[in-house]
Amino acid sequence: MVRKEVLEKLQSAQKRLSDINPNFKLYIFEGYRTLKIQKERFLKRLKVLSELEYYENPFDLYEKTHETVAVPSVAGHPSGGAIDIVIFNQQTNSFLDFGSPIYDYTTNKFRLDTLGLTNEQENNRQILREILLAENFAPFDGEYWHFSYGDREWAFYYQKPAAIFSNLQFKNYE
Q: Is 41 in the site for Zn ion (CB under 5 A)?
A: no
Cβ proximity to Zn ion, 106 vs 172, nearer residue:
106
Number of residues that bind Zn ion (CB under 5 A): 2
Site for Zn ion in 96-115 (CB under 5 A): none
Query: Please, what is the minimum distance in Å from the beta carbon of residue 43 to Zn ion?
Result: 17
**For Zn ion, which is the closer residue by CB, 18 or 133?**
133
Other Cβ atoms closer than 10 A to 89: 16
- Per-residue contact string for residues 119-158; x = within reach of Zn ion by CB under 5 A: ---------------------------x------------
- Least distance (Å) from Zn ion to the CB of residue 77? 6
Compare residues 9 and 146 and give the one whose CB is closer to Zn ion. Answer: 146
Least distance (Å) from Zn ion to the CB of residue 82?
5
Q: How far apart are CA 4 and CA 10, in angstroms?
A: 10
Find the length of the chain: 174
Q: What string of DSSP letters covers the chain?
A: ---HHHHHHHHHHHHHHHHH-TTEEEEEEE----HHHHHHHHHHHHHHHHHHS--SSHHHHHHHHHTTS--TTT-SGGGT-EEEEEEEETTTTEE---SS-TT--SSGGGSTT-S---HHHHHHHHHHHHHHHTTTPEE-TT-TTEEESSSHHHHHHTT-SS-S------TT--
By the rule CB under 5 A, 84 interacts with Zn ion? yes
Sole window of 51-59, 84-92, 127-135, 157-165 interacting with Zn ion (rule: CB under 5 A)? 84-92
Nearest position to Zn ion, beta carbon: 146
**Interface with Zn ion (CB under 5 A):** 84, 146
